[in-house]
Structure 1
């Protein structure tokens, strides 16, 4: 199975993740098999299996017999028997797991369909093979042009050249039977090679071409899934899924293969559940099934005469009502059953570590410079003398600047004296204040310059 970093180019060749052998899957090939018996020795007296599995383009695999007992390992490029000529492929599996794979695909060990291995591919064989692979995309493009000229109702999905370059297989999909005899003549005259037409289904087409599913991963059929089983809409009904073809269909246009993955788990859970066609008879009226949560064991029923509200019941409550109906009795109303249902409060996540809020960057930042300028303008406006004031309030020379404004033990302030700001070092208690004589004044504080009176004389 390929990793997440693997992807295929336009010629369906895996690009690879450049992990240099550290990939957990072992390689970047499609439908690869992990040989977990590679480090185990055979019992004494037992001969190794002389059949190997060879992979071709887009995960196409076949079994070949090693009659000459060549030293072949996984990843070797070999030349095998073709029809006609020879083909070039990559060894994908050797050893005892071959028996399991052949049993899975229904191939006997002594089958005549198993062809033989010629040799390990030489550099000349690899060069011819790569040159033939480079012509596949252009051949597919020209083949579609010929299809459009002939007006055949078929889709040419892929083209695969044989290793020796003397034969090309055209894979196509069609809904109805197609007469492509004239098409073969035109293709053979256009490319001067032997043509073979092979029809595949929509699922096989998606497996060959590959792609990304709605889950964000590569398609299962092109990475690890080998047996494409039939998927029915009943699998979606058992899992309480909405029958929306846009959500249930995969890249091939058929129902997704992953609908069968958890179907057995749902079927086991539904064994203890009552049938959905059962009608609940209560004192207030008959109720019908709406929906259910299988793993939480919750049901939603509604009255047949009034479907405006749904009532949530547990599996035990539904079974109790069904037992009462079997005995010819009617149960109490669904409102009382729902009132008896006590929901357990689940502890939600608490921010005990002190993480910041996710919306802390949503509010725009305020410029500190503009804020300081605004404060300075306000301070200048407060210190500015009022031009409408006729007389300037002056401080009497015998007034003590340290004298407090409030409190019963102080002199009455002069009404003509200007109010001074309250010293923050004083503590207010009721209507009086308490001085702190031991507290030294801050001499570093910038003093305000004395004000000038109307006759431009400085007040002392």
Structure 2
């Protein structure tokens, strides 16, 4: 079946791909999901268009020429001075909400879209982009020579190459007036300086976080909220700076993702300093599982002794009983804790080191069953393969197939104590040259064949 040419019918009868304008390719950072893309008349509701440039820089423009713009189109937009080249990332009603989110109150900040980018515009933009890395290296050296305490993290050229934006990081206020003059004389472009923080720098550079996924600031997060150590305390996370810090050397933004759930769940827990009094003694809070609603109590205030795990409801019940002067027999309700349903972890009992352990050879039970009893060191024929099949027939080969052939056919088997000499038979005599005679003092005499 040809899936490439397959088309799906929408509810409004449009002959196009399912939600084709909602999700763009994830080759651009901070893409916005247009959940109004398939609403009839969405694109014609406003002429505002969102255009994204290098990394995390976005702009909002008026489509004054009524161009048929779609998500992913490359356009030439108005700039000061000249023009810039960017990619359309959003159209329709959601652009108005994005403008409110960006706090653009002045209409002067919204410029115009000139045209769809031509090949000449693309060539100029590609040439300007190729100079960005070398410009950043030279500008860092210039700032170092001037003795400025700042770091130039990124350089972005305008689409026509007439302007360059220098993104820098500085802990203190920096006087870069002399730096702008030197940069303008060196690169012969208009210079614009923008100060960014450590989080914005990590978003522009990108990378992979300790969770194994791409950084949130480099994919979807644009507005940064302050993160404090209280978020780690609410979630009962150890205050280890190395584990709490992200790629930007600041506290991880993901510490704020679940803190609201922990705050809400912590309100249902009893006070930490509450002491539970029972007939067995006093118990102090030792460990808390906030989301599961379980509390572990210890009989010692400072050590883990006689640990008992109960639910938060049971702890509150005992506190109320203590206020009334009553003491339960134990922390457990009726001697047992109510079983709480937990999610099953299939890999809970597995150990990754199991691949490093050497496999133990299993003994063959059938093989051991066919062995003779203790005292008989000779193996009967057929139990083991011969170690050397190329030995001469006249040699000292005790496991030769034709030696005990006669007695085995008569139903005679080796008995205990017969270690050195085969049974006598009329048609099977030991050959000369074999050392199979019993020694003196040993009970190794062969038994006579009873017929």
TM-score after normalising by structure 2: 0.71
**Aligned partners of 1:68 and 1:401: how far apart in 2?**
107
Partner of 1:243: 239
**Aligned partners of 1:188 and 1:229: how far apart in 2?**
35
Are 1:255 and 2:251 counterparts? yes
Partner of 1:78: 75
Q: Structure 2: which 5+ runs fail to align?
A: 1-19, 347-353, 363-381, 414-420, 434-451
CA contact (8 A) 2:279 2:329 kept: yes
SS where residue 272 of structure 1 aligns? Answer: coil
- 1:338–1:123 distance in 2 versus 1, CA, 3 Å: farther
- Deviation digits for residues 256-307 of structure 1, max 9, x if unmatched? 1112222222233223212223333455655432221123221122245562
**Aligned partners of 1:67 and 1:299: how far apart in 2?**
64
Alignment of 1:48-447 (within 5 A): 48-108=45-105, 111-282=107-278, 286-304=282-300, 307-309=303-305, 310-330=307-327, 332=329, 340-341=336-337, 362-363=358-359, 375-377=385-387, 385=396, 403-405=410-412, 418-419=423-424
**Aligned partners of 2:66 and 2:323: how far apart in 1?**
74
Partner of 1:35: 34
SS where residue 114 of structure 2 aligns? Answer: strand
- 1:205–1:166 distance in 2 versus 1, CA, 3 Å: same
CA contact (8 A) 2:151 2:169 kept: yes
Question: Shift in Å at residue 158 of structure 1?
Answer: 0.5
- 1:24–1:383 distance in 2 versus 1, CA, 3 Å: farther
- Deviation digits for residues 104-156 of structure 1, max 9, x if unmatched? 33335x72221122222222121111111000000001111112222222111
- Deviation digits for residues 84-115 of structure 1, max 9, x if unmatched? 2221111111112212222333335x722211
SS where residue 214 of structure 1 aligns? Answer: coil
TM-score after normalising by structure 1: 0.70
**Aligned partners of 1:61 and 1:230: how far apart in 2?**
22
- 1:183–1:218 distance in 2 versus 1, CA, 3 Å: same
**Aligned partners of 2:422 and 2:361: how far apart in 1?**
44
CA contact (8 A) 1:58 1:208 kept: yes
**Aligned partners of 1:401 and 1:362: how far apart in 2?**
42
- 1:275–1:450 distance in 2 versus 1, CA, 3 Å: same
Question: Shift in Å at residue 311 of structure 1?
Answer: 3.0
**Aligned partners of 2:136 and 2:407: how far apart in 1?**
105
For the aligned residues, what is the CA RMSD? 4.0
**Aligned partners of 2:175 and 2:343: how far apart in 1?**
67
CA contact (8 A) 1:312 1:338 kept: no
**Aligned partners of 2:54 and 2:344: how far apart in 1?**
52
CA contact (8 A) 1:235 1:260 kept: yes
**Aligned partners of 2:103 and 2:254: how far apart in 1?**
24
SS where residue 61 of structure 2 aligns? Answer: strand
CA contact (8 A) 1:26 1:34 kept: no
- Deviation digits for residues 220-270 of structure 1, max 9, x if unmatched? 111112222222222222222111121121111222111222222223322
SS where residue 196 of structure 1 aligns? Answer: strand
Question: Shift in Å at residue 343 of structure 1?
Answer: 5.7
